[in-house]
Amino acid sequence: MHPYEISQKMRERHVDRLTRVTVGSLYRAVEKLTEDGVIEVVETSREGRRPERTTYRLTPHGHDVFRDHTRSLVSELATEYPQFAMGTAFLHTLPPAEGLAALRRRTVELRAKLASEEVVFDQLTDLELAPLFWIEIDYRAALYRAELAWVEDLIGRIEDGRISWPDKVLRRQAQLTEESE
């Protein structure tokens, strides 16, 4: 395929939901992969007034590199830096009502994401693709379900008093509010 076709295929297969790739970064990646012998040029062609297009394919070395990288991605734990975890680390800096409202908004967004994943499930099921080809969507939905359950549980623990804002934090928030008025 040529890079533009690769980018179209990635969108069609919803890979763009897993990683952010621009056509420009894809062209740079293709250059690097070619230099490293992972892919090779098949042909360069032009149709009518369209720009010249170079088509690439994986080399045998590229197949090995791809399999090794996939094996690593599946088997090894990687440190990830989710923004939500950062937000929860500083939840105490919000007034309790504001913190709860933010958490409730997150549950609404999580439910919407889950509904969106269900639409994608239905579309892929209609295409009769083997589930292994879109297992990452099932994984992402499982993460959304787990996060939704956790956030709902957190809201419940805050509402029933099992988790509360320390008096010291509440006094500081009140002081900051008075100073800003």
What CATH code is carried by the domain that includes residue 14?
1.10.10.10
Residues 93 and 168 in one domain: yes
Q: Based on the domain organization, do 147 and 91 belong to the same domain?
A: yes
Structural domains of the chain, count = 2
How much is the pLDDT for 92? 94
Which domain, by its residues, includes 165? 83-180
Mark which of 14, 48, 75 sits at the end of a domain: 75
DSSP letter string, the chain: --HHHHHHHHHHTTGGGTS---HHHHHHHHHHHHHTTSEEEEEEE--TTSPPEEEEEE-HHHHHHHHHHHHHHHHS------HHHHHHHTGGGS-HHHHHHHHHHHHHHHHHHHHHHHHHHHHHHHTT--GGGGHHHHHHHHHHHHHHHHHHHHHHHHHTTSS---HHHHHHHHHHHHHH-
- pLDDT of 13 > 80? The answer is no
107 and 169, same domain (yes or no): yes
Q: How confident is the model at residue 8 (pLDDT cuts 50, 70, 90)?
A: confident
Same domain, 109 and 171: yes
Shared-domain flag, residues 49 and 65: yes
- Among the candidates 75, 96, 125, a domain finishes at 75
pLDDT in tens, 49-95: 888 888 899 999 999 999 999 999 999 999 989 999 999 999 999 99
pTM of the model: 0.78
Mean of pLDDT over the chain: 90
User: Same domain, yes or no, for 62 and 136?
Assistant: no
Residue 54 shares a structural domain with residue 120: no
Q: What percent of the chain has pLDDT over 70?
A: 100
Average pLDDT over residues 15-31: 84
Residues 117-144 pLDDT 10s = 989 888 888 888 888 888 888 899 999 9
pLDDT (tens digit, 9 = 90+) per residue, 103-113? 999 999 999 99
The reply to whether 55 and 101 lie within a common domain is no
Inform me whether the pLDDT recorded for 17 exceeds 80.
no
Domain boundary among 75, 108, 127: 75
